[in-house]
Amino acid sequence: MTQTLDPRLTPARPHAADVALRGVVAAERYVAGEPARVVVPSAPLRRAPSPESGTDTEALLGDAVTAYDAVGDHVLVQLARDGYVGYLPADSLGPAGPEPTHRVAALRTFLYPAPDLKRPPCAHLSLGARLVVTGAAGAYLETPGGYVFARHCVPVGEAAPDYAGTAERMVGTPYLWGGRTTLGLDCSGLVQLCLDAAGLPCPRDADMQERALGRPLPPVHDALQSDGLQRGDFVFWKGHVGMMLDAARLIHANGHHMSVAVEPLAEAAARILATSYGPVTGIRRL
């Protein structure tokens, strides 16, 4: 007997499914997933195996995945970071090992072919990208793909606990549906990227985050009408999320400004109620 499961988190599509889901979901065949890793600066995780398909999220350099089935030039995968399922371009994937040793802590940095800032860069890397460091050369770290400025990186496991402060660094970043890099972000991508920098697990989408992050602050109306909110609280709408910088100011990636912006929560809530996502549905605190 098959079940209806959230396709965002279920490694199953009509053509293939995880062997562990045999008898749970219907598929043409069942396969054991193979570990792999993202080997490009970023890659779109798509809903269907086509460049014309919508992007649900982005995988970053060093992200671990389980790869299930190739469809043309795409591969059905599940991201280890948050369990999200979709199709990555096949050329964005490589061997699972070795494990990354460092992550990019600057908003953006470059990968160079040599430890020389005058050389044309090989690639642009976003905050959160993971690197395998194999050596050092002056002010640069050596990786299998090139050299990166050492002060733009920190060891994996070194956290930036003020996740609201990380969000403030991204003010002005353009809004991008499905975006999860500092070249473009959506609302839940901003939250996830900031919590990742803080070493905290976080689901990908706003509805998932509303169920999983911290604890609720009831009732919503009382919290919105008082000074009971604090830095780092998350405010949710049906389909949207923002983060408080203090008792009054919200930071969020949004389509109204088409960027990461800071504004009074009262103004944002009134506009969102009138024009898009309706009333605030929840407030949560870690």
pLDDT band of 101, cuts 50, 70, 90? very high
pLDDT band of 19, cuts 50, 70, 90? very high
* pTM score of the predicted model: 0.95
> Which has the closest alpha carbon to 45: 92, 1, 10, 106?
92
Taking only the tens place, the pLDDT of each residue in 37-46 is 999 999 999 9
Judged on CB neighbours under 10 Å (0-12, 13-18, 19+), 12 is buried
Burial of 154-186, coded b for 16+ CB within 10 Å and e otherwise, reads: bebeeebeebbebbebbeebebbebbbbbbbbb
Taking only the tens place, the pLDDT of each residue in 170-221 is 999 999 999 999 999 999 999 999 999 999 999 999 999 999 999 999 777 6
Place of tokens 């969102």: 272
Q: How far is CA 78 from CA 66, 132, 140, 270, in A?
A: 5, 21, 33, 37
> Which has the closest alpha carbon to 24: 34, 33, 32, 12?
12
pLDDT at 124: 97
pLDDT at 145 over 70: yes
Could you tell me the two tokens for 46?
A: 């798509």
Distance of CA 225 to the CA centre of its chain: 31
In angstroms, rounded to a whole number, what is the distance separating the alpha carbons of residues 22 and 29?
9
Where do the domains of the chain lie, and which CATH numbers do they carry? 12-94 (2.30.30.40), 102-155 (2.30.30.40), 163-285 (3.90.1720.10)
> What percentage of the chain carries pLDDT values higher than 70?
97
Residue 190: partners with Cβ closer than 8 Å, 6 or more residues away: 167, 170, 173, 243, 251, 252, 253, 260
Average pLDDT, the chain: 95
Q: 8 and 96 in contact (C-beta within 8 Å)? A: no
Give the N- to C-terminal CA distance of the chain in Å, as an integer: 39
pLDDT at 3: 58
pLDDT at 232 over 60: yes
pLDDT band of 4, cuts 50, 70, 90? confident
pLDDT at 223 over 70: no
Strands 135-137 and 108-112: unpaired
Which helix (H) or strand (E) segment is 222 a member of?
Answer: helix 220-224
Taking only the tens place, the pLDDT of each residue in 48-98 is 999 999 899 999 999 999 999 999 999 999 999 999 999 999 999 999 999
Is 35 in a helix, a strand, or coil?
Answer: strand
Could you tell me the two tokens for 190?
A: 């901003």
Is 210 in a helix, a strand, or coil?
Answer: helix
pLDDT at 1 over 50: no
> Which has the closest alpha carbon to 38: 57, 20, 21?
57
